[in-house]
Structures are given as C-alpha cells and as structure tokens.
Amino acid sequence: MSNNPVQFNEDNRCLARTRKGKSAFCQARKVTGKKRCRMHGGTNDGAPKGNKNAFKHGRYSREVIEKRKSVMKFKREFMELLRIIKNKDKEKPDLSLV
Ligand SMILES: [Zn+2]
C-alpha cells in the first residue's frame, strides 16, 4: 500500500448531480478510472450489451437512432438540392455541394 494519499481535488470528485441544483455535484471521490463514486454507479458496469429487459418499442435503440440520423441527413441534402434547383434562375448553382 502506498503512503501517498490520493489527492482530493475537483478532478477526482463524482460527477453525479444532486437535488440542490444543476451545478451541484456529489462531493464523494469517484472510483478510479470511472466518472462516478461508488454510490452513484462507479462500481457498476451496467447492463450487458444487447440486454432487452426494458425494451419497449426500440425508438431509442442504436439501430433506430442511426437510421433516423441517416434519414435526416438525406432529407437535409435533398432540401439543399431542392433549394439549389429552385434558385437556378436567380443565381448560378453551387454544384460542389451536390
Ligand atoms: Zn457520487
């Protein structure tokens, strides 16, 4: 065992918020290598990957979130293309975006 006590500063405080307010953090020391103290899940690895215990509809599942992002990206690109086509007569289109 080391004789050097662990430095207790802002860097090794738990990042869990308290009911005192948004900027009020837990005062306990975080578990080494984690962001939370032992009372706020620092020693807990969480549910195993692929766990479906609380699965309801899948709206927030990784696959659906990624699909939603790609659809929104496609929509943004399509709307930009539409804007370019609509403004074709007014100004010269910037085809580098397409
Ligand atoms: Zn804590």
Q: Is the pLDDT of residue 95 over 70?
A: no
Contact present, 28 and 37 (Cβ < 8 Å): yes
- Shared domain for 14 and 40, answered yes or no, is yes
Write the burial class of residue 4 (CB in 10 Å: 0-12 exposed, 13-18 middle, 19+ buried): exposed
- H-only helix segments in the chain: 62-86
* pLDDT one-digit tens code per residue, 45-76: 888 988 899 999 999 999 999 999 999 999 99
User: Rounded to the nearest whole angstrom, what is the distance from the C-alpha of residue 34 to the centroid of ligand 1?
Assistant: 11
With respect to residue 95, please indicate whether it lies within any of the assigned structural domains.
no
Token pair 């696959």 is found at 63
> Ligand 1 centroid to 12 CA: how many Å?
11
Distance from residue 6's CA to the centre of ligand 1 (Å)? 17
Query: Per the structure block, which two tokens stand in for 30?
Result: 């975080």
Find the domain containing 83 and state its range: 58-89
Residue 66 lies in a domain: yes
Q: Which of 28, 23, 26, 22 is nearest to 8 (CA)?
A: 28
Domain assignment present for 27: yes
Residue 2 lies in a domain: no
| DSSP β-bridge partners for residue 17 | 25
- pLDDT confidence tier of residue 1, bands split at 50, 70 and 90: very low
Same domain for 63 and 85 = yes
Does 20 fall in a domain? yes
- Ligand 1 mean position, distance from CA 61 (Å): 27
Say how many domains are in the chain: 2
What does residue 17 show for φ and ψ, rounded to 5 degrees?
Answer: -90, 150
pTM: 0.46
pLDDT at position 29 is: 93
